[in-house]
A and B are shown apart, each in its own frame.
Chain A
């Protein structure tokens, strides 16, 4: 449903993203991994309309959305979350989620109902009246997810929703993400937590220095020598393949 072709972006002469091609099929969970500064977030930002690409195209459901403003892309059903969480700090959790919910309805009552339902789905029911600035990191990450979900997206772009979470919290959010996928939302995520990547994704792309260096199923990626060299390191790769073996 999402096609990215030849996407390029440079900042101050340095290529952050260099001719990247990738695609996400409906109903899948696709991961984008790679070292820091590889251009993952920039890629997301271009897909979601926050950064205009220098070259290349972004097509969603066969329509060209390259260079559209974020809100128009959201209208089409593509919503991103932020790596560094961006809550509406003085608003309550409920009010935060309502901003997303308003995207589907102008009615306050309806927006509130929708927000409550989404909060339940991501496990934030108990936190509805708390000010967003008082949430823990885990809470904020969930809030990011909940707000995005409340807009009723077809494709969710999740930027490191697991960074800074402990293993228990990661397991919880993995369950939530799976649930979202099962409810019919396609998911494209950036993640460092390899355990989750292995566990969740149907397909993965690896970026390094702005260039795609590998693509394939997680298992295939974990054994890719390029990926191990540039990103995973041997230790992590061993652990991962071990985990996958154990998990399977």
Chain B
């Protein structure tokens, strides 16, 4: 067991070190940009994974926190001139608060399973409509962030800048997931996922644990929002609260392996690669996405426990779904 753990540890260290040097050795900026998108998506997936994978609270509204965070730092920047280094913490706080708000309403009334999934979907629509209708978000016009490259503004001329930023975010997210698997809080979340009543009977304050989980998810989503806003310099309600992004978050996580440390990263990596490769080899619009869809269905059909099943030996990992 300790051997396995330490082997994983060594692999992770090697992975991090290799990742740090990727931009040095890879001259192709496109790869760096795609890698930062993969990392960004993995980070969002991990944020979903805390609540969805570990705590078992399946959400269709993961984008809420992303959008709220993006708005928080962007509004601070454009209205008050507060630079995004501070803004990102505001975004984290805003994401966590949005989590608190939604979690409080949903969990207070005991919503579980598909009911929770659907209420988060509804909230993401509410947030979108509100962002569209109020003044301080710029309404339907959205928010433009001035193009002003510089580390102070969290804007980089070299894609490697965003790559490193995304890498740091992913490493933090892996650390969070790793900590979850080793901690009491994580054990409680998993217990809630497996059987909430039983967890409650054993003294787990399920409501509070779920609130914490959704706040962590929200905080991570908020940080991702700032990253996005500073990279693409524009957000509007359809971008900030797109159902597509919510779907992508759960997609990469489930395909990779829900409730596992590396699931979201693996899922993001594979799905983006499949997409890019299909796009590369097939010129006809639409056809490449058909191929992508077929591969997606095939992965799920043949690896019902996610891609991480490929990497796992028979040894069952904590929190991972084992074959029945």
Contact = CB atoms under 8 A, between A and B. Distances in A.
A71 B187 contact: no
A102 B188 contact: yes
A92 interface: yes
A98 B195 CA distance: 14
A99 B199 contact: yes
A81 B198 CA distance: 8
B184 A102 contact: yes
A82 B321 CA distance: 23
A99 B316 contact: no
Given A99-B188, A102-B188, A108-B182, A88 B203 contact: no
Contact of A98 (B187, B194, B319): B187
Contacts of A148: 201-202
A79 B206 CA distance: 15
A42 to B, nearest CB: 14
A131 B200 CA distance: 21
Interface in A114-154: 131, 133, 147-148, 150-151
Nearest to B196: A86
Interface string A62-87: 00000001111011000111100011
A50 interface: yes
Interface string B200-218: 1111111100000000000
Interface in A179-220: none
Interface string B280-317: 00000000000000000000000000000000000010
Contacts of A70: 200-201, 203
B183 interface: yes
Given A99-B187, A99-B188, A108-B184, A89 B194 contact: yes
A192 to B, nearest CB: 21
Contact of B187 (A48, A50, A79, A95): A95
Q: Name which of A74, A80, A86, A91 has the most chain B CB atoms within 10 A of its CB.
A: A91
A147 B198 contact: yes
A222 B320 CA distance: 49
B135 interface: no
Given A108-B184, A133-B324, A87 B195 contact: yes
B197 A90 contact: no
A38 B52 CA distance: 39
Nearest to B182: A108
B114 interface: no
A178 interface: no
B200 A50 contact: yes
Interface string A153-167: 000000000000000
Nearest to A98: B187
Contact of A151 (B194, B202, B320): B202
A74 B201 contact: yes
A90 B320 contact: yes
A74 B191 CA distance: 16
B190 interface: yes
A95 B202 CA distance: 13
Given A90-B320, A91-B194, A131-B316, A48 B188 contact: no
Interface in A16-72: 48, 50, 69-72
B157 interface: no
B8 interface: no
B322 interface: yes
Contacts of A86: 195, 197-198, 201
A90 B317 CA distance: 10
A95 B318 contact: yes
A89 B198 CA distance: 11
Given A50-B200, A74-B203, A80-B201, A89 B316 contact: no
Interface string B164-197: 0000000000000000001110011011001101
Contact of A147 (B202, B206, B316, B319): B202
9 contacts: A69-B207, A75-B203, A82-B201, A86-B195, A87-B194, A95-B318, A99-B202, A103-B204, A150-B202
Interface of A: 48, 50, 69-72, 74-75, 79-82, 86-92, 95, 98-100, 102-103, 106, 108, 111, 131, 133, 147-148, 150-151
Interface of B: 182-184, 187-188, 190-191, 194-195, 197-207, 316, 318-322, 324
The 4 closest A-B pairs by CB, nearest first: A74-B203, A88-B194, A86-B198, A70-B200
